[in-house]
Amino acid sequence: MDSVPQAAVGSLLRPKLTAPQAASDSLCRPQVLEALAGHPNARLVLFSAPAGSGKTTALVALAQARQARGSAVAWFSLASEDDDPARFFAQLIETLSAAIPGLGQDALGYLQNTMRVPVAAVMESLLVDLAHVQQPLLLVLDDLHLLQDRELFAALNRLVQLAPAGFTLALGSRSQPPLNLATWRAKGLLLEIGPDELRMTEGETRDYLDRLGLQLNDSALSELHSHTEGWMVGVHLASLWLRNQTQIPAHLPDIGAGQAAVGDYLLRSVFEQLPVDMQEVLLALGIARQLSGELASALTGRADGQALLERLEAMQLFLLPLDRERQWYRFHHLFAEFLQGRLRERDPERFKQLHFNASLWFTNHHMQDLAIEHACLADDPEMIAALVDGCGLELINRGQLNQIYRWRRHVPDAIAERYPILVLAEVWDKASELALPEANRMIDELLARWDGGKSESQLNDSYLAALAVKAVIALQKDDLDLCVSLARKIEPQLGQHNAFLEVAILIVAALAQVVLVQPEQARRLLALAHQRNHFLKGRYLDMQLANVEIFMALEQGQVQQAQQLFLQMRAKAMPWFGEKSRALALPTIGEALVAYQQGHVQGVEEKLNWALATVDVINPIDIYAQGMLCLARTQRMQDKPKEALASLVLMQNLAARNQSWRFYALAVGDEVALILQEPATDRIKRADQRLQSVDWQKMAGQYAKNGFNPVSWVLGLARIRLQQARGNYSEALHEITQLRGQLQPNWHGLQRLRLDLLAALSYQRLGYQERAHSLLQQCLLAAEREGVRSLFVEEGEAIRQMLQQLEAAERQPALQGFIRSLLSIWPGHSVRKAAEGLEEELTEREREVVCLAAKGMSNDEIGKQLSLALGTVKWHLHNIYEKLKVRNRTQAIRRVRELSLLEP
């Protein structure tokens, strides 16, 4: 084992990330060694058998054999608290980097500054590193049965599937793990070693006892083997029992059948034959998850803790060394469970006191997780609360909120309310369930209690954490002014507190400033957030910063920039998170918003349905509502008016529940537009009635102080559409002029484009054709520059007709192509295309001529290709123009492409 580097003395990880030392009298297991030798290329080796069957001993033997052949070995003995992605991967990376220096260092960034660990992304990063490892590597995960997390097993499946040829994963488990064992078995990648292979034969039992100086006659040996059924720990327990007999009996007593009965009998027999003082020592030491000499002294009240542990190891009382220096030990699980059960039954108060002492010792030695686990067993909620509060921010930053939730259940409300982190965990839990009023009430009470007249220069990290939660809840409740004021409160102290919390508050405030149409303030806050985020290694806040920047670009009408920002985020930040991670809900909405504006609606509905169903407290209602609006508009573009209306109703309900009236107004405005585009004769009347059913003045009053009033904007836009539907185009132009005055300079790019488009329609209907043509061209040029298409479609059939007229007269190929791309995405395009088919079909020769023309051939080249005179080619082209109702070759080629006449 010399090539296995050790962690620093006192490290929390050291005992778990080191292979146990093989006992000097360990038994050679021929059938196990034979199975291992017969499958040298197995990528997954699974030792699956009940407790005490020798799984760990066999894993140690495998590790030693691989090291002797030059392999690196990484060892991880799992505990129940490792059933947490952040904790599991932190320790896995620690042991891998000890075996192969530098391995997994990139993956560490995934575990920092994130609310939830992106399990899939961490594993992908490890796989990338493993692909560059030249040395064979064995990774051992012992006690795998203690894991339950589905994501972790999915990650292990991927590790087995994609690991390089020199990698082997060896598992020890009391049960069959939920891995793709059938797949690996069928591919020949799995070696399974179970109870039959691990069971000792009668001959091995005799050899083992002989080495201990215990000779049994054939009858007694047969009885022992029958009782233990080759169970390794059972045989060892029997050897301890026999050594305490005055003489070796000819026959063994009836100790029952089955491992449970044999184990209970032998454990009691061995334990009760020990001196009373040794029994008390074992009961005291048995409560500890892991032991050092100093901790042994603290638990027993003796001064010779290290010597005591070495003595117990020599007595073979199930004490296993966990490092070469024998500074850390643990009892065999069966013996530890026996000791703990006996102590709890005999003296429950002493049981709790010893766990309290262990918790105190681990606290003083900065092993917080073990300290909290022992505090839970000590049933000391005050100590649990204090310990969790002390390390809570670090746990939150590492994405271990679920650990806090688990420990919180051990603490009564009366105690928990005095500790900031426990209260914040509960508030966050309420907020994640979207119980926002209750969460807000709790956080307000907490801030009031903690404030105590402190000045802003006295803010601590706990208070700042509460402010961060308050800011997130305020964003969900659409309280934008509060978001901004909270950022102002912490700005003077930037750099003096936890960077994760500072960046989170700045991001929330920046988004609020975007919505409030304060671009310069938003950019300033984003710059500050980037500066502080530079000190963080995680990618979660990187992605949130990018989301705000995408949203801001869309608000400015810079769709191309928004697309570029998304592509950068997809390349740099999104791979850090699993494909269905909740953290990807916001980027998915951002991607859908960009794709919709560009008219690429294929797949948008599916993506939005997933993102909108993935509710998370960190999803600001503004982007969430925009996602719902985008979903309704996408459904409208796909000729699904009923589904679009249902989405708008859901959006109105969401807005009303949260009293976010600007979103309610947006949904009603789109509902009115949807009604106006219906073919029904009473559409104008119904649209007007829907508009009049809303108290616009009351809703607009909530945004009177804003630089841009979103409710007034929606109302003005609905009025313009109604005026145009009634044929009142002059009145519509007047409304457009009034509404244009609300738009902010260098902002509202898409809104400005929409007003110009509606103005072009009014001018065209009033007979000002040249002015309408010029304004529409300007709109198209601006839209083509940003790739904006859906905005035109949203305004309905009248705009389509204008575009068709312009397309027929347009001389600029680029603009003509953009118009065609607009018309091709219009709802009902395929139906119209079929209806507008040829009155007279092209002949086969005419199809040949136009196909060659589409390839760029001249008339002369077409003639040579088809063996036709030049005049005949011109005659065919003339007939083609007549049938297609076009004037020249360019229009003919475009027309046959639209009619799919070039397809074979």
User: Which pLDDT value is given to residue 156?
Assistant: 92
Counting Cα atoms < 13 Å in the Cβ hemisphere of 391 gives 19
Query: How far is the C-alpha of 880 from the C-alpha of 876, rounded, in Å?
Result: 6
Sign of CA dihedral 330, 336, 342, 343: positive
DSSP string for residues in 191-233: EEE-HHHHSPPHHHHHHHHHHTT----HHHHHHHHHHHTT-HH
Indicate whether 218 and 157 sit together in one domain: no
Query: How far is the C-alpha of 88 from the C-alpha of 100, rounded, in Å?
Result: 18
Indicate whether 292 and 368 sit together in one domain: yes
Give which of 646, 621, 622 is closest to 634, Cα–Cα.
Answer: 646
Indicate whether 237 and 153 sit together in one domain: no
What CATH number should be reported for the domain holding residue 118?
Answer: 3.40.50.300
Q: Which of 178, 199, 220 is where one domain is finished?
A: 199
- Beta 329-331 vs 319-321: how paired, if at all? antiparallel
- What would the 3-class secondary structure string for 51-103 be? CCCCHHHHHHHHHHHHHHCCCEEEEEECCHHHCCHHHHHHHHHHHHHHHCCCC
Indicate whether 84 and 156 sit together in one domain: yes
Query: How far is the C-alpha of 639 from the C-alpha of 636, rounded, in Å?
Result: 5
DSSP string for residues in 882-894: HHHT-SSHHHHHH
H or E stretch at 169: strand 167-173
Task: Give me the domain span that covers residue 877.
Answer: 844-898
| Count of domains for the chain | 4
Angstrom CA distances, 318 to 160, 233, 240, 276, stand at 33, 9, 11, 18
Indicate whether 361 and 261 sit together in one domain: yes
What distance separates the 2 farthest-apart alpha carbons in the chain? 124
Angstrom CA distances, 344 to 51, 325, 332, stand at 22, 32, 18
User: Which pLDDT value is given to residue 835?
Assistant: 42
Contact 815, 777 (CB under 8 A): yes
- pLDDT < 50 stretches in the chain: 1-14, 24-25, 255-259, 262, 452-453, 455, 457, 617, 830-835, 904
Indicate whether 236 and 349 sit together in one domain: yes
Buried-exposed string 596-610: b where 16+ CB fall within 10 A, e elsewhere: bbbbebeebbebbee
Task: Collapse the DSSP code of 416 into the 3-class scheme (helix H, G, I; strand E, B; otherwise coil) and give the result.
Answer: helix
Q: Which of 145, 175, 199 is where one domain is finished?
A: 199
269 within some domain: yes
Indicate whether 153 and 192 sit together in one domain: yes
Indicate whether 268 and 362 sit together in one domain: yes
Q: Which of 357, 377, 397 is where one domain is finished?
A: 377
443 within some domain: no
Name the strands in the sheet holding 167-173, side by side, starting at the edge strand that comes first in the sequence.
Answer: 72-77, 137-142, 167-173, 44-48, 190-193
Give which of 442, 436, 513 is closest to 474, Cα–Cα.
Answer: 436
User: Which pLDDT value is given to residue 409?
Assistant: 84
445 within some domain: no
105 within some domain: yes
Indicate whether 70 and 195 sit together in one domain: yes
What CATH number should be reported for the domain holding residue 852?
Answer: 1.10.10.10
Contact 96, 35 (CB under 8 A): no
288 within some domain: yes
Structure tokens at 551: 């949203």
pLDDT digits (tens, 9 = 90+) for 588-628: 999 999 999 999 998 999 999 988 887 554 567 778 888 99
Indicate whether 287 and 239 sit together in one domain: yes
User: Facing residues of 400 across strands?
Assistant: 116
Tell me, rounded to whole angstroms, the distance of Cα 359 from its chain centroid: 33
Structure tokens at 182: 């059938």
Counting Cα atoms < 13 Å in the Cβ hemisphere of 24 gives 6
Task: Collapse the DSSP code of 53 into the 3-class scheme (helix H, G, I; strand E, B; otherwise coil) and give the result.
Answer: coil
Indicate whether 168 and 34 sit together in one domain: yes
558 within some domain: no
Contact 6, 15 (CB under 8 A): no
Structure tokens at 247: 């003489």
Contact 688, 722 (CB under 8 A): yes
Contact 189, 43 (CB under 8 A): yes
Structure tokens at 722: 């109604």
Indicate whether 240 and 364 sit together in one domain: yes
User: Which pLDDT value is given to residue 10?
Assistant: 31
562 within some domain: no
51 within some domain: yes
User: Which residues have a Cβ under 8 Å from the Cβ of 381 and sit 6 or more positions away?
Assistant: 410, 411, 412, 415
Amino acid at 665: A
User: Facing residues of 139 across strands?
Assistant: 74, 169
Sign of CA dihedral 694, 697, 700, 701: negative
Structure tokens at 594: 């960009």
Contact 797, 789 (CB under 8 A): no
Query: How far is the C-alpha of 872 from the C-alpha of 878, rounded, in Å?
Result: 10
Contact 716, 735 (CB under 8 A): yes
